[in-house]
Amino acid sequence: MKKYLVAPWRSGYIENLSSSQKSKCIFCEATKKNSDAPVLEKGKKNFVIMNLYPYNTGHVMIVPYKHTNDILNLDEDEITELMKLTQKCIEVLKSILKPHGFNIGMNIGKSAGAGFADHIHLHIVPRWQGDESFLTIVGKSKVISVDVKKIFKKLKKEFNKK
């Protein structure tokens, strides 16, 4: 008998893949005035946003305002702020979620696994000892145990304090 894991929160991601919005950059759209994107922090050169389809609880991304697919196109101020925001994200995530570690990185280019290859972004994924299970390793499925909107509210409050 085949078993199914139902993950209705992923439907928005799937629908966006096939929509006419595909030609618009999700990151550039997130910075527009009327956007309801889950932006946690706005810097001068970069912003921090929650990943709505996270690899793990608390998965955030730091995104340059500059629309580019090449890290070599970022200037010194953009890179410096990117790293300072990385530090702030780590500080906030440690304070709220108390992870045991982090995965931090960029997938630059479609062949490197970038879901949105036209606009670079840095992933920060909190990790906990034992957060990999039979389901993730063999079943190739991940269970996110905390609602993204609840985590966003907690993280936003903490970002505002710092």
Residue 100 catalytic?
no
Classify residue 1: in a domain, yes or no: no
Classify residue 134: in a domain, yes or no: yes
Under a CB-based contact definition with an 8 Å cutoff, are residues 13 and 4 in contact? Answer: no
Identify the pLDDT of residue 53. Answer: 84
Identify the pLDDT of residue 13. Answer: 52
Identify the pLDDT of residue 139. Answer: 47
Q: What is the mean pLDDT of each run of 10 residues along the chain (162 residues)?
A: 51 52 82 90 97 90 97 98 98 96 93 88 92 52 70 93 82
Helix (H, G, I), strand (E, B) or coil at 63: strand
Domain count of the fold of the chain: 1
Identify the pLDDT of residue 37. Answer: 92
Classify residue 73: in a domain, yes or no: yes
- Rounded to the nearest angstrom, the gap between the alpha carbon of residue 74 and the centroid of all alpha carbons in its chain is 20
Identify the pLDDT of residue 137. Answer: 44
Q: Please measure the distance between the N-terminal and C-terminal CA atoms of the chain and give it in whole angstroms.
A: 51
Identify the pLDDT of residue 25. Answer: 92
CATH number of the domain enclosing 85: 3.30.428.10
Classify residue 125: in a domain, yes or no: yes
**Could you tell me the residue range of the domain that residue 121 belongs to?**
8-161
Evaluate if pTM is beyond 0.85.
Answer: no
* HSE-up of residue 135 (Cα within 13 Å, Cβ side): 9
Residue type, 132: E
d(CA 70, CA 115): 15
Classify residue 2: in a domain, yes or no: no
Classify residue 149: in a domain, yes or no: yes
Classify residue 48: in a domain, yes or no: yes
Identify the pLDDT of residue 7. Answer: 55
Residues 59, 67, 100, 121: which is the catalytic one? 121
Classify residue 66: in a domain, yes or no: yes
C-alpha separations of 65 from 54, 55, 83 in Å? 21, 23, 14
Identify the pLDDT of residue 42. Answer: 96
